[in-house]
Copies of this chain bind each other. A is one copy, B any other.
Amino acid sequence: MRMDYQPILDEIIRIVLKRPSEGVVASYIPELAKVSPDHFGIHLSCLNKGHYHVGDNHDGFSIQSISKVLSLTLAITKIGDKIWQRVGVEPSGDPFNSMVQLEYEQGIPRNPFINAGALVVADILCGELSNPKAEFLKFVRSLCDNDSIDFNHAVAHSERDFGYRNAALINLMRSFNNIQNPIDKVLDFYFHQSSIEMNCKDLANTFLLYANHGCLLHSGKRIITLSQSKRMNALMQTCGFYDEAGEFSFKVGLPGKSGVGGGIAAIHPGYYSVAVWSPPLNKKGNSSRGMEALELLTTKSGLSIF
Protein backbone atom coordinates (compact mmCIF):
# COMPACT_ATOMS: atom_id res chain seq x y z
CA MET A 1 0.00 0.00 0.00
CA ARG A 2 1.49 3.32 -1.01
CA MET A 3 -0.91 5.95 0.24
CA ASP A 4 -0.59 9.72 -0.10
CA TYR A 5 -1.49 11.18 3.28
CA GLN A 6 -0.73 14.81 2.34
CA PRO A 7 -4.20 15.74 1.09
CA ILE A 8 -5.71 14.19 4.20
CA LEU A 9 -3.43 16.15 6.52
CA ASP A 10 -4.17 19.34 4.57
CA GLU A 11 -7.87 18.76 5.00
CA ILE A 12 -7.50 17.96 8.71
CA ILE A 13 -5.73 21.21 9.49
CA ARG A 14 -8.38 23.16 7.60
CA ILE A 15 -11.18 21.51 9.56
CA VAL A 16 -9.49 21.66 12.94
CA LEU A 17 -8.40 25.29 12.77
CA LYS A 18 -11.82 26.45 11.58
CA ARG A 19 -13.24 26.02 15.07
CA PRO A 20 -11.97 27.86 18.16
CA SER A 21 -9.73 25.60 20.23
CA GLU A 22 -11.50 23.92 23.13
CA GLY A 23 -9.95 23.12 26.46
CA VAL A 24 -7.15 24.73 28.42
CA VAL A 25 -3.38 24.52 28.42
CA ALA A 26 -2.00 22.53 31.38
CA SER A 27 -1.26 24.94 34.20
CA TYR A 28 -0.21 22.74 37.08
CA ILE A 29 3.36 22.82 35.74
CA PRO A 30 4.14 26.56 35.56
CA GLU A 31 6.58 26.24 32.66
CA LEU A 32 3.96 24.51 30.51
CA ALA A 33 1.37 27.20 31.17
CA LYS A 34 3.48 29.64 29.14
CA VAL A 35 2.95 27.81 25.85
CA SER A 36 0.64 29.40 23.28
CA PRO A 37 -2.63 27.48 22.84
CA ASP A 38 -2.61 28.16 19.10
CA HIS A 39 0.14 25.78 18.09
CA PHE A 40 -0.98 22.91 15.90
CA GLY A 41 1.13 20.45 13.98
CA ILE A 42 1.09 16.93 12.56
CA HIS A 43 3.90 14.75 11.28
CA LEU A 44 3.28 11.28 9.81
CA SER A 45 6.20 8.93 9.10
CA CYS A 46 5.64 5.82 6.98
CA LEU A 47 7.58 2.58 7.17
CA ASN A 48 8.02 3.00 3.43
CA LYS A 49 10.01 6.17 4.20
CA GLY A 50 7.26 8.58 3.20
CA HIS A 51 6.91 11.72 5.37
CA TYR A 52 3.90 14.02 5.52
CA HIS A 53 3.33 17.07 7.70
CA VAL A 54 1.30 20.20 8.26
CA GLY A 55 1.46 23.09 10.71
CA ASP A 56 3.99 23.64 13.47
CA ASN A 57 5.80 20.37 13.05
CA HIS A 58 9.22 21.85 13.79
CA ASP A 59 8.46 23.53 17.11
CA GLY A 60 9.61 21.62 20.14
CA PHE A 61 7.25 20.82 23.01
CA SER A 62 7.41 18.90 26.26
CA ILE A 63 6.47 15.29 25.55
CA GLN A 64 5.55 14.67 29.20
CA SER A 65 3.66 11.36 29.63
CA ILE A 66 4.52 10.20 26.12
CA SER A 67 7.96 9.56 27.62
CA LYS A 68 6.39 6.75 29.66
CA VAL A 69 6.38 4.56 26.56
CA LEU A 70 10.08 5.22 26.05
CA SER A 71 11.11 4.55 29.65
CA LEU A 72 9.05 1.36 29.66
CA THR A 73 10.81 0.28 26.47
CA LEU A 74 14.23 0.86 28.00
CA ALA A 75 13.22 -0.98 31.18
CA ILE A 76 12.08 -3.95 29.10
CA THR A 77 15.42 -4.09 27.34
CA LYS A 78 16.99 -4.30 30.82
CA ILE A 79 14.84 -6.74 32.79
CA GLY A 80 12.38 -8.19 30.26
CA ASP A 81 9.13 -9.67 31.50
CA LYS A 82 10.13 -9.47 35.15
CA ILE A 83 8.77 -5.95 34.97
CA TRP A 84 5.21 -7.31 35.07
CA GLN A 85 5.71 -8.49 38.64
CA ARG A 86 5.79 -4.87 39.72
CA VAL A 87 3.24 -3.22 37.46
CA GLY A 88 0.02 -4.48 35.82
CA VAL A 89 -1.38 -4.27 32.29
CA GLU A 90 -5.02 -3.35 32.99
CA PRO A 91 -6.70 -0.02 32.28
CA SER A 92 -7.20 1.93 35.49
CA GLY A 93 -10.76 3.05 34.91
CA ASP A 94 -10.04 6.02 37.13
CA PRO A 95 -8.59 9.51 36.77
CA PHE A 96 -4.93 9.41 35.97
CA ASN A 97 -3.42 9.92 39.36
CA SER A 98 -5.98 8.35 41.68
CA MET A 99 -4.63 6.67 44.79
CA VAL A 100 -7.63 4.52 45.44
CA GLN A 101 -6.69 1.54 43.33
CA LEU A 102 -3.05 1.79 44.30
CA GLU A 103 -3.96 1.42 47.94
CA TYR A 104 -6.54 -1.28 47.30
CA GLU A 105 -4.12 -3.22 45.13
CA GLN A 106 -1.26 -3.12 47.59
CA GLY A 107 1.06 -0.73 45.83
CA ILE A 108 1.07 -2.47 42.43
CA PRO A 109 0.02 0.14 39.85
CA ARG A 110 -2.56 -0.88 37.29
CA ASN A 111 -0.33 -0.20 34.29
CA PRO A 112 2.93 1.55 33.38
CA PHE A 113 1.24 4.56 31.78
CA ILE A 114 -0.45 5.97 34.86
CA ASN A 115 1.84 8.10 37.01
CA ALA A 116 2.25 5.44 39.69
CA GLY A 117 3.25 2.85 37.11
CA ALA A 118 5.72 5.17 35.43
CA LEU A 119 7.28 5.88 38.83
CA VAL A 120 7.86 2.15 39.30
CA VAL A 121 9.46 2.02 35.84
CA ALA A 122 11.61 5.01 36.81
CA ASP A 123 12.62 3.17 39.98
CA ILE A 124 13.63 0.15 37.90
CA LEU A 125 15.76 2.30 35.62
CA CYS A 126 17.37 4.00 38.63
CA GLY A 127 18.34 0.54 39.86
CA GLU A 128 19.57 -0.78 36.51
CA LEU A 129 21.46 2.21 35.14
CA SER A 130 24.60 3.73 36.62
CA ASN A 131 23.72 7.17 35.25
CA PRO A 132 19.97 7.02 34.62
CA LYS A 133 19.36 10.46 33.16
CA ALA A 134 22.29 10.35 30.74
CA GLU A 135 21.61 6.80 29.64
CA PHE A 136 17.92 7.42 29.13
CA LEU A 137 18.65 10.49 27.03
CA LYS A 138 21.14 8.51 24.94
CA PHE A 139 18.52 5.79 24.41
CA VAL A 140 15.87 8.27 23.28
CA ARG A 141 18.33 9.97 20.90
CA SER A 142 19.12 6.59 19.38
CA LEU A 143 15.45 5.78 18.84
CA CYS A 144 14.88 9.17 17.23
CA ASP A 145 18.20 9.21 15.37
CA ASN A 146 18.63 12.81 16.54
CA ASP A 147 21.38 13.77 18.97
CA SER A 148 19.94 17.19 19.67
CA ILE A 149 17.04 15.80 21.70
CA ASP A 150 17.39 17.04 25.28
CA PHE A 151 15.73 17.57 28.62
CA ASN A 152 14.19 20.93 29.39
CA HIS A 153 15.65 21.51 32.83
CA ALA A 154 13.36 24.43 33.57
CA VAL A 155 10.35 22.19 33.05
CA ALA A 156 11.92 19.40 35.11
CA HIS A 157 12.51 21.74 38.04
CA SER A 158 9.15 23.34 37.67
CA GLU A 159 7.57 19.88 38.10
CA ARG A 160 9.77 19.06 41.04
CA ASP A 161 8.54 22.02 42.97
CA PHE A 162 4.89 21.17 42.45
CA GLY A 163 4.97 17.40 42.27
CA TYR A 164 3.28 16.71 45.61
CA ARG A 165 0.88 14.17 44.16
CA ASN A 166 3.74 12.21 42.66
CA ALA A 167 5.53 12.40 46.00
CA ALA A 168 2.39 11.04 47.63
CA LEU A 169 2.19 8.19 45.11
CA ILE A 170 5.81 7.17 45.43
CA ASN A 171 5.72 7.25 49.22
CA LEU A 172 2.58 5.13 49.22
CA MET A 173 4.24 2.58 46.93
CA ARG A 174 7.35 2.66 49.07
CA SER A 175 5.19 1.75 52.05
CA PHE A 176 4.20 -1.37 50.08
CA ASN A 177 7.86 -2.06 49.20
CA ASN A 178 7.33 -1.45 45.49
CA ILE A 179 9.98 1.28 45.33
CA GLN A 180 13.60 0.34 45.98
CA ASN A 181 15.72 3.41 45.29
CA PRO A 182 15.86 6.70 47.20
CA ILE A 183 12.62 8.58 46.59
CA ASP A 184 14.33 11.85 45.68
CA LYS A 185 16.52 10.13 43.09
CA VAL A 186 13.56 8.43 41.44
CA LEU A 187 11.50 11.63 41.37
CA ASP A 188 14.42 13.59 39.91
CA PHE A 189 14.80 11.03 37.13
CA TYR A 190 11.05 10.96 36.53
CA PHE A 191 10.72 14.73 36.23
CA HIS A 192 13.63 14.87 33.80
CA GLN A 193 12.28 12.00 31.73
CA SER A 194 8.96 13.85 31.38
CA SER A 195 10.63 17.11 30.42
CA ILE A 196 12.15 15.83 27.18
CA GLU A 197 11.41 18.14 24.27
CA MET A 198 10.67 17.00 20.74
CA ASN A 199 8.92 18.40 17.73
CA CYS A 200 6.27 16.45 15.82
CA LYS A 201 8.82 15.06 13.40
CA ASP A 202 11.10 13.75 16.16
CA LEU A 203 8.15 12.21 17.96
CA ALA A 204 6.76 10.47 14.89
CA ASN A 205 10.23 9.17 14.02
CA THR A 206 10.76 7.88 17.55
CA PHE A 207 7.49 5.95 17.49
CA LEU A 208 8.33 4.29 14.17
CA LEU A 209 9.91 1.63 16.40
CA TYR A 210 6.45 0.41 17.43
CA ALA A 211 5.06 0.56 13.90
CA ASN A 212 8.10 -1.42 12.77
CA HIS A 213 7.52 -4.26 15.26
CA GLY A 214 10.48 -3.44 17.51
CA CYS A 215 13.26 -2.61 15.00
CA LEU A 216 14.67 0.84 14.32
CA LEU A 217 13.75 1.81 10.77
CA HIS A 218 16.84 3.94 10.23
CA SER A 219 19.37 1.24 11.21
CA GLY A 220 17.43 -2.00 11.23
CA LYS A 221 18.62 -2.67 14.78
CA ARG A 222 16.19 -4.70 16.91
CA ILE A 223 15.44 -2.96 20.22
CA ILE A 224 12.67 -5.17 21.61
CA THR A 225 11.29 -8.50 20.38
CA LEU A 226 8.33 -8.79 18.01
CA SER A 227 6.24 -10.07 20.90
CA GLN A 228 7.32 -7.22 23.19
CA SER A 229 6.51 -4.70 20.46
CA LYS A 230 3.01 -6.10 20.01
CA ARG A 231 2.42 -5.99 23.72
CA MET A 232 3.62 -2.41 23.88
CA ASN A 233 1.07 -1.53 21.20
CA ALA A 234 -1.65 -3.44 23.06
CA LEU A 235 -0.82 -1.50 26.22
CA MET A 236 -1.03 1.82 24.38
CA GLN A 237 -4.38 0.73 22.97
CA THR A 238 -5.94 -0.08 26.35
CA CYS A 239 -4.10 2.34 28.67
CA GLY A 240 -2.60 5.17 26.63
CA PHE A 241 -5.14 7.91 27.30
CA TYR A 242 -5.79 8.03 31.04
CA ASP A 243 -9.49 7.31 31.52
CA GLU A 244 -10.28 8.17 27.90
CA ALA A 245 -8.51 5.13 26.41
CA GLY A 246 -11.83 3.57 25.46
CA GLU A 247 -12.96 6.76 23.75
CA PHE A 248 -9.72 7.00 21.77
CA SER A 249 -9.84 3.35 20.81
CA PHE A 250 -13.50 3.75 19.84
CA LYS A 251 -13.06 6.85 17.72
CA VAL A 252 -9.50 6.57 16.41
CA GLY A 253 -8.78 2.86 16.50
CA LEU A 254 -4.99 3.11 16.83
CA PRO A 255 -2.59 2.48 19.73
CA GLY A 256 -1.17 5.74 21.06
CA LYS A 257 -0.04 7.81 23.99
CA SER A 258 -0.82 11.38 25.00
CA GLY A 259 0.97 13.91 27.20
CA VAL A 260 -0.19 17.02 29.05
CA GLY A 261 2.11 19.10 26.87
CA GLY A 262 -0.54 18.61 24.17
CA GLY A 263 1.27 15.96 22.17
CA ILE A 264 -0.11 12.61 21.01
CA ALA A 265 1.86 9.84 19.29
CA ALA A 266 -0.05 7.03 17.58
CA ILE A 267 0.86 4.16 15.31
CA HIS A 268 -0.64 1.91 12.71
CA PRO A 269 1.44 -1.26 13.12
CA GLY A 270 3.06 -2.18 9.84
CA TYR A 271 2.25 1.17 8.23
CA TYR A 272 3.09 4.43 9.97
CA SER A 273 3.54 6.47 13.12
CA VAL A 274 2.01 9.89 13.57
CA ALA A 275 2.53 12.75 16.03
CA VAL A 276 0.09 15.58 16.66
CA TRP A 277 0.58 18.62 18.87
CA SER A 278 -1.98 21.12 20.14
CA PRO A 279 -1.60 22.36 23.73
CA PRO A 280 -5.23 22.85 24.92
CA LEU A 281 -6.38 19.77 26.85
CA ASN A 282 -9.90 18.41 27.29
CA LYS A 283 -11.31 17.50 30.71
CA LYS A 284 -9.61 14.12 30.69
CA GLY A 285 -6.18 15.68 30.11
CA ASN A 286 -5.76 14.79 26.42
CA SER A 287 -5.18 17.27 23.57
CA SER A 288 -8.63 18.21 22.20
CA ARG A 289 -7.54 19.03 18.70
CA GLY A 290 -5.08 16.16 18.74
CA MET A 291 -7.88 13.67 19.41
CA GLU A 292 -10.01 15.26 16.72
CA ALA A 293 -7.18 15.26 14.16
CA LEU A 294 -6.45 11.58 14.66
CA GLU A 295 -10.14 10.67 14.44
CA LEU A 296 -10.25 12.52 11.12
CA LEU A 297 -7.09 10.75 9.98
CA THR A 298 -8.45 7.23 10.41
CA THR A 299 -11.90 8.17 9.16
CA LYS A 300 -10.60 9.86 6.02
CA SER A 301 -7.93 7.27 5.28
CA GLY A 302 -10.41 4.46 5.98
CA LEU A 303 -7.67 2.68 7.91
CA SER A 304 -7.53 1.55 11.52
CA ILE A 305 -6.41 -1.62 13.22
CA PHE A 306 -10.06 -2.68 13.52
Contacts and interface: CB of A to CB of B under 8 A. Distances in A.
Interface stretch (A142-150, A230-238, A274-282): A230-238
B255 A246 contact: no
Interface in A69-117: 88-94, 98-101, 103, 110-111
A195 B302 CA distance: 37
Contacts of A167: 167-168, 171, 174
Given A110-B93, A235-B250, A305-B305, A171 B174 contact: no
A90 B245 contact: yes
A165 interface: yes
Interface of A: 88-94, 98-101, 103, 110-111, 164-165, 167-172, 174-175, 226-227, 229-231, 233-235, 237-239, 243-247, 249-251, 253, 255, 269, 299, 302, 304-306
Nearest to A302: B226
A174 B169 CA distance: 13
Given A103-B100, A238-B245, A250-B89, A171 B164 contact: yes
A100 B93 CA distance: 12
A238 B227 contact: no
Residue among A93, A110, A235 having the largest count of chain B Cβ atoms under 10 Å: A93
A302 B226 CA distance: 9
Contact of A306 (B164, B234, B247): B234
A304 B171 CA distance: 39
List 4 tightest A-B contacts by C-beta distance, closest first: A93-B93, A164-B175, A233-B306, A90-B246
